[in-house]
Amino acid sequence: MKKPLIGLILPAYTNPNPECSHTRQLISTAYIRAIEAGGGTPLAIPSLRCAEDIDPLLNLCDGFLLPGGIDVDPRLYGENPHALLDCVNLATDQAEIRLISHAKTCGKPILAICRGIQILNVALGGTLYQDLSLRDTKPMLHSQNQSRDYPIHQVTIEQDSHLASILRTTQTYTNSLHHQCIKDCAPELRVVATTTDGVPEAAESTDGRWIAVQWHPEELLQTVPCMVGLFEDLVRKASV
Ligand code: MN
């Protein structure tokens, strides 16, 4: 049987070191390995000058992964840049918004990770906190100092969610490598997991075709083995 093709946009990255400041489009190997572990074949899609030029590549894909990365440009949810905003790249944002719109039209599944939950929420009409310190509640540590495979904080998952069925649990520990989070959840999404400080850690669509997590499951395949379920679920939905 042909393995489903899982598309992801290659994010543009400019090295801040002026000695080697050329821009590259890069993706961490952990995403590639996790898609393979789930039974799919990854297809990397470059961000092109003209966003609609990626359409023939989107058409090839059976499902999509929205990876982690830099901040979403706040103009996309009607805000000016706050002093605590980190790097942004509007071209990558626009390519991913095009991908989300294609997935919506064609009914293709999406697994969104870290920045992915943020761009998915914004693309569907939601907003973000530009920094966790801007919330009313003082946040716990969400930018861990440990290695990326270290599950640092506990997450509580709604029992009646697709996510709880996929992970087969309502309590798990996850890694945490983010300084932003969902503020207003988009109408088509529902927040289904939080940390005890109330930070949204996962969201999903009613039909479960879009699953979005604020943590990095691709880094947890060894330390939190149930996380491979997210990639298997994406590939299973992409197969039908
Ligand atoms: Mn977190």
Confidence of residue 47 (pLDDT cuts 50, 70, 90): confident
User: Is 142 one of the catalytic residues?
Assistant: no
pLDDT tens digits, one per residue of 132-148: 999 999 999 999 999 99
For a pLDDT cut of 90, what percent of the chain falls above it?
90
Residue 124 has pLDDT above 80, yes or no: yes
CA of 201 to the centre of ligand 1 (A): 6
User: Is 179 one of the catalytic residues?
Assistant: no
Residues with CB under 5 A from ligand 1 (ion): 142, 176
Q: What is the mean pLDDT of residues 206-214?
A: 98
Q: Which residues lie below 8 Å from residue 86, measured CB to CB, with a gap of 6+?
A: 70, 71, 179
The predicted pLDDT at position 15 comes to: 76
CB 26 within 8 A of CB 203: no
User: Is 216 one of the catalytic residues?
Assistant: yes
The predicted pLDDT at position 196 comes to: 97
CA of 215 to the centre of ligand 1 (A): 6
Say how far apart CA 118 and CA 102 lie, in whole Å.
Answer: 18
Q: What is the DSSP string of 52-77?
A: GGGHHHHHH-SEEEE---SBPPGGGG
Catalytic annotation, pick one of 102, 162, 216, 219? 216
Confidence of residue 21 (pLDDT cuts 50, 70, 90): confident
